[in-house]
Structure formats: C-alpha cells, structure tokens
Structure 1
Amino acid sequence: MAFAIEDILLNFFLILTPLYFFQFILSNYSELHAKFYLGSILGLSAILCMAFPIVSGDGFVWDLRWIALLVSLLYGGLLSGGITATMIVVYRFAIGGMLGSLNVLLVAVFILLLFFFLRRHFIQQPFPNKLKRGIGFSVLTWLIVVSAITVHFYMTGAAEWLWHNSLPIFGTMLLLYVLSTGLYVYFSESIRFYSTLKDQALKTEKLNYVTEINDLLSLELAQGLEKSVKQLEPLVSSDDPGVRGHSRAAVLEISKLKAAVAEHFTSAETEGQPTIISLEEMMEDVLLTLNPYIEQKGIETAFDIDPQLILKKDMLRVKQILLNVTKNAIDATSRGGKVQIATLMKRHHLFIYIEDTGIGIAPEQLASLLDFNSDAKNTIIGRGLKVTQQLIREMDGAISFSSQIGKGTTVSLKLPSQIIGQ
C-alpha cells in the first residue's frame, strides 16, 4: 500500500512541534499554568495532525493525535491530558460523522483513565526506565487505537477491506508511535534535567553570593571602624578635657562594636562546623556544592589531595576560599574544559593550586585583580576576590596567579602549615 512520504513527515513534524515550547513552559510558569499551556499546545498539535492527516492507499486516513494525548497525560497529568483530549474530541465532532466522533470520544476517555493511573509508575522513574515505559505505553496506545479502528470498520461493513490492507498501515503506525514517543521522552527528560541543573546552579550561586556579601560586610565594617579609631587618636590626646573625654568614650564604644563584629564572625565560622576535617573531604564538599554549575557548564573537575592532610583550624575560611577560587575557575572555563586542584606541603606552608583551561587573564587585568585597593573590587569577581584576599591575609597566607591568554590560569594559595593537624 502506498504512503505519501510528505504526509508522514508533516504529521511527524507537527506532533513533535510542542517540544520547542517545553523549555519555555517549564522555566516561566507555575505548575498549574505549565500544565494548562502544555495541554493546550499538545491539543493544538493534535488538531493540526488531524487537519493534515496521512492518507494511505485508497483513502484510509490516520494521524498521530493520540501521541499528543499520551505525552500530555504523562507529563501534565489529568489537567493537561483533559485539555488535550477535549480539543481532540471537539475538533472531531466539528469535522462531522457521528460514528467516528463517538469512536474518538470513547478512545479519548479510555486513554485518559488508563494512563492517569499508569503515569504514577512513570513519572518517578529514572531516565532509562522512563524511556522503556514510554515506548511500552506507545505500543499500548497503538493497540487501543487499532482496536477502535477495527471496531469502526466492522460496524460500517468494511471489515474485509481492512483485513486485506491493514498490515502495512498498522505497521507504519506502530513505528511512528514508538519513534515519536521515544523522541518525546528523550528530549523532554533532557529539557527537564537541564532546567533542574539550571535552578540548582542559581541556588548555589545565590548561596555563594550571600556568604560573600556577609564576609564583605564584616570586612568593610571592620575596616571602617579601624579607620574611625585612627581618626580619633589625635583627639584622644587633645588638651581640651571635653574633647579628650568624648573622644575616649567614642573609641571605647567603637572597640566594643569591633569586638561584637569579631565575635559574630567567629561564631558564624564555628557554628555547625566539625572540629576536624580532611582537606580532601572539604574539596569533595566544595565540588558537590558547585556540582549543578559544573554539570551545566559541561566541564571536568579533578583533584589530587593527600588524604592525610587534616584541617584543625580556620576550616570555614579555607572552605570559603576554595569555594570562591574554584567558582571563578569554573566561570572562566568553556564547555569541555577542565579544572584541577592539587596540594603540596613545603616546609612551613601548605600550597593549594587551582588550575583551569579557561580563557586566561591579560597582564593588565591580573595586576588590577592583585591590587587590593583597585576598582576591581566593584565587580562581582573583584568583590569575591577581595573577600578571598582578606581571608587569606587573616590566616597569614598569600595568593598568586599565573595565566596565559587562551590557555588558562593557575591560582596558587599559600597557607600556614599550622592549620594542618599532625
């Protein structure tokens, strides 16, 4: 039996068109709105398939409308599936033919009820199982549709024609059902996966920025108070008793405020922190925190850290430093690149190297970043680096960079060995 290839390709394209809108729907609407739009778009896709059907042989007309309903149910539930089913049934009644319309109504209701219960065994499955179940559901849908078509032909007295011509029609229908459902599941799950990664990466970034802002505010406040004390020092030794007394009182209050800020920062450091932790475990935790961002960027990470290196102090500072520097390395690295972390104990210092294969830093930019008082502190990266520099200074450590444009950057952290337990 002859098939019009252009009809098959057009129907196949029309049924897959809603995939172009999945990312937009998932990212921009609440769950209820997303289901409404999903059902509507898939319903429109089904109507277009019915409007431009596949014509086989002597005029047997069929299409892929039921795949739209299946996908709508699996990914949108009863609300989405109900909208799609309603659009299919209403359009079929509008075309005319009471027997055919009632047949479509019964098929729609049966598919709705059946897959409403089966979807709960689908939606929580991992991707490989979803793909298998989706293909299995497409075969089950095909069986329902073929049964309905057979009943219709028997009722209209055309059973003999169907018996002699059905094999190529139903075989092609099965192939397209399986292929289109498999593609729907594959691309839908990929879109959902990357949308989830994007959301997790944004949450991680927000958490990192909140931590940086907290550290930066503490730093700015401490520096501001220190400057205030220095400006008041000449007045403390003033010959005017009134000025001298007020100045001393002001210095005392500022000292109390400095102590309160230091206490807050120290308590924030120690709250909920383990008494000791290996540097290897800490790096694993940092990479786990950044994992959504790493996967979204599509880069490789690796570290070579001696498991015997145990941190006994400044754990929160070291973790924040590693988080900031590693995040910057990931930012600078393109898809397919690599970020590596390594350590080295040398004399009285612990050296940590974070190397990336990113875009590199120009010499003039490098000089600006290393200048603690430069305008780089007004950029996001500059503020993060300023916090990192301050944390390292508080530990009597140092940070240095080596970079080549187009090849990458290596950040070297030099920390006192006293933070490592023996």
Structure 2
Amino acid sequence: MGFVYINHHFLDNLFYILVSVFVYFILIDHSKRMKQYKKTLLIACMSVPIILCMRFPIYIDEYCVHDFRQIPLFIGTLYGGWPVGAVLLVITLLGRFYLFGFNFLTLIVYLVIFFSTALFANKFNGFKRKGKVLSSSLLSFVVGVMTTLIAVSFSDFFQVTEAYVFYFVIMPPIIMFSFVYLAETLQDAINIKPKMVKLEKMEVVSQLAASISHEVRNPLTVVKGFIDLLKDPNLSQDKRDEYIEHINRELQSAESIISDYLAFAKPATEQINPIFVDREISSILQMIKPWANMNSVHISEELTPGVIHGNTQHFKQCFINLIKNGIEAMPEGGELRVITSVSNKHITIKIEDSGVGMTKEQLNRFGEPYYSSKEKGTGLGSMVIVRTIQTMNGTLDISSVLHKGTTITVKLPEMESDAR
C-alpha cells in the first residue's frame, strides 16, 4: 500500500527536512557564535521545511493532499523545548491559514501536537541516543492516533482513508526514528570533536616528552660518567682534556636536541627579517664542511643571490638539518651539491646527495611526528624542517632513488625589492 504513495512530492518533503537538519548542525559545528543562539537557529532551520512542506505538499489525488510539516515541529520542540515549539507552532498555523484558510480542527490538532511534545521534551532530553530515537517514534505514533481520534470526533466530514493512515500514523514514527537518529549521530560527532583534539594534543605532548627525555638522557648519562672519571686525582692532563672534549660533545648533542624541540614547538613569528639566502647557505656550508670532510663527503655549491622574509635562526636550523641528513645518508662518502636559483619570484634551494636514498614509505612519512629513518632518531629534525618551510609559505619536494641518492627541493617566495 505504502509504495503507491511514495512519489517525488513525498521525497521532496523529506529532502526539505533533511537539508535543514544538516544546515543546523553544520552551522553549530563551524561557528562558536552560533552555539550561543542555538534555539534561534533551530527555529530558523525548522521553520523553513515547515513552510516548504506546506507550500509543496504531497498530492495523491485531487481529493487527497498531505505533507510532513509536523515532523520539523516535533524535532524543534523536542530539542528546543516549549519556547522553540511555541514559535514553530505559530509559524505553522500562520502558514497553514495563509495558504489554505482558517480551520478550527487544524488549530485543535496542532495544539495537541505542541502540548504533547512540549510536555515530553524535558524527559526526552534526559535520554541517551537509543531512548531518544525510540521515544520520539512512539510519541509521534501516539500523537498521530490521538489527533486522528480528535479529528473523527470533531468532524462529521472527516474520513480516515488509507492515505491518511499512511502519512499521519505510519510514516511519522519511521521518519522521526530516522531523523532523531541522524540528529543524535551529528550531535555526538560535534561533542566528541573537541575531546579528540584534546586527546591528540595530550598524546603529542606525552610522546614528545618521552622522546626528548630519552634522547637527552643518553648524552647526560655519558657526561655524568666522564665527570666521575675526572675526579681521579691521578688522571693525566691528556686524558683530562680528552674527557672534557667528550663532555663538551655530548652537551652539544643535548643542546641540539633541545634546539630542535624548541624550533618545532615555538611558532616562528619572532624577529622576522630579510634573509640573504646565498650568504646564509654559504655560512652553513663553511660551518659543516669540516664534519663533511671527516665523513669523506665532498660539498660543492652553486649559489645565486636572493632574499626571502623569515626568521634567520629557524632558517639556519632547517637547512643545517637538511644538509646533515644528506651527509649522514652517505656513510661511505660521496658528493653533496647545494644549488640555489631565482625564478618567477621564488627562490629554489636544491640539496642533492649520492647516498643510500629513501623508500616510498620514508618519503611519505617525512616530517611525521616521531618517525625517523635513523636507528636512534627522534624525527624532530624533519618536523623542524617541515614546520619552518610551511611558516615561510614555502614548499618542500623530495625525490629519491634507493642506493642512488636523494634530491630535496625547497621553494620559498622571494622578498619584494621595495620591502628590502
């Protein structure tokens, strides 16, 4: 029987209500200000389908016209309480009387719908999802039966047809079940979002703290051991100098880890100034060449003058990490090339090595928190690189072939000449 009555007008009515429910929750989710006016927003979103359902009703035949205006009235009153329901009731009645003329029976029916729903609203909002879904369906069924009995009692001309039973008794509970379930699902998603963000932040803090603690503890343990050895009164001066050198190296290692952490954790918005890329890269290479020579790595450079806007300290840390990664990727020695060029208002910095290369997984996970291709790495260095380049509105591209080498291309917007 029911399928005979399901036509495009039927689906249009459902569509009006569905879109309004989605719009309500989208606005609530994406605007903090809207949350302060939830009831006003609920009235606005539910009044639209009420009017549209009446304006474009469901035509079965020339004597039978129905619509689902009562569904938004149910939803608005249950979720917003009697104040929202009262406003929606007025809108419903005014729309009904304007479009189809005044009818006393219609007034009685919708007053019954309103008062029944408003009285149940407080209890409804105390239920969990399952209770809300089932109780709203039962409420719409009971109200449908009540209003049918009232209509039969008050009107000698009223007839309970199959279409009436289908639209006012059978379908409302099914529709209410579906829309309340949808509303509860969307509400749960909105409620859980800040909790998930908080949990993610706590997880990041805990993992980062554990990683830093582990990495800093290692050099400090070595330092403690050498300090104990320095207490020996019979220690020769050569040994003493050697131990002090070890201590200094381990402290520098700890300082480097902490610097990486701070560069990642602190926003790079302080001390923004012009950065002369060729000069800074040249300075970094001069500093790192002795270490490269110790690892049998030859560094060649082709530097073109160019100026960008950013934090000099973080820029240096970023490219020190990139160049160090390139050198460490060549344990048997090799060649590292650093090339800078200027075109299309962008400065391109290429770092090419002839090292071990990277797998597809390593490429995809570069910059991911706590992921490192190094056996004892923390992943902080790559996070610093990615964050610094993003902060300077640049792009990072990595291409690599296993056992042949890796090319890292960084593009940064060139500073305009009038801003220098």
Q: 1 or 2 for the larger relative contact order (CA 8 Å, sep ≥6)?
A: 1
Query: Please, what TM-score do these two structures have when normalized by structure 1?
Result: 0.48
Structure with larger Rg: 2
Task: Name the structure where helix makes up a greater proportion of residues.
Answer: 1
Query: Please, what TM-score do these two structures have when normalized by structure 2?
Result: 0.48
